[in-house]
Amino acid sequence: MFDRLREDISTFKRRDPAARSALEIFFLYPGLKAIRMHRRANWCYRRRMFFLARWISQRAARKTGIEIHPAATIGRRFFIDHGTGIVVGETTIIGDNVKLYQGVTLGALSPRHGHAVTGKRHPTLGDNVLIGAGTKVLGPVFIGDNARIGA
C-alpha cells in the first residue's frame, strides 16, 4: 500500500515541473486524491459493494472535479494534470504511464449498448498515452501505446 503511494507521489513529482515536495503533492494535488479514492472505490466495486463504491467515487468528484467510475480499470503511474472536468467512464481501461490534462472525457456514445461481443462502451488507452486538454474520446475505441491525442 505505501509502496504504491510512494510510486504515485514520485510519478507526480517527475511529471509536473511545478511540484515542489512530496507533502505538497500528497495534500494539495486533486489528481492524486482522485486516483487514490478511485482505488478504494474500485476495490469495493470488485467486491460487489456497489453503493459504497459509488459513494466514494461521488465524494471524490465533489472534492476534486474529477469523475472516475469505480469500475474503470487504471494502470500504474497514471497522472492527471490540472484535472478539473475529467470524466472516465465505466468500461474504460487505462494502461500504464498515461497522462490526462484537464477537461478530458473518456466516455460512451450510447448509455446502454456496447460493443456487440465485449459489451464495452468506453475507450481503451494503451501504455504511455497522452491525452491533451479538452479532448473527448468516445465509444469503444483503442488508442495504442505511445499515442498523443489532442496534444
DSSP string of 86-123, one letter each residue: -EE-TT-EE-TT-EE-TT-EEE-SSSS---TTT---S-
In terms of Cβ atoms closer than 10 Å to its own Cβ (0-12, 13-18, 19+), residue 51 is exposed
Q: Is 68 helix (H, G, I), strand (E, B) or coil?
A: strand
pLDDT value of residue 116: 58
Candidates 38, 72, 31; CA nearest to 55 is 38
10-residue mean pLDDT profile of the chain (151 residues): values are: 90 94 96 97 98 98 97 97 94 97 93 67 97 96 96 69
pLDDT value of residue 95: 98
What pTM did the predictor assign?
0.92
pLDDT value of residue 142: 96
Q: Nearest 5°: CA angle at 61, between 88 and 94? A: 25
Within 29-77, residue ranges assigned H as helices are 30-46, 50-64
Q: Is 76 helix (H, G, I), strand (E, B) or coil?
A: coil
pLDDT value of residue 150: 87
Report which DSSP code applies to 26.
Answer: H
Question: Side chain identity at 70, as an amino acid letter?
Answer: P
Q: In whole angstroms, what is the distance from residue 80 CA to residue 98 CA?
A: 8
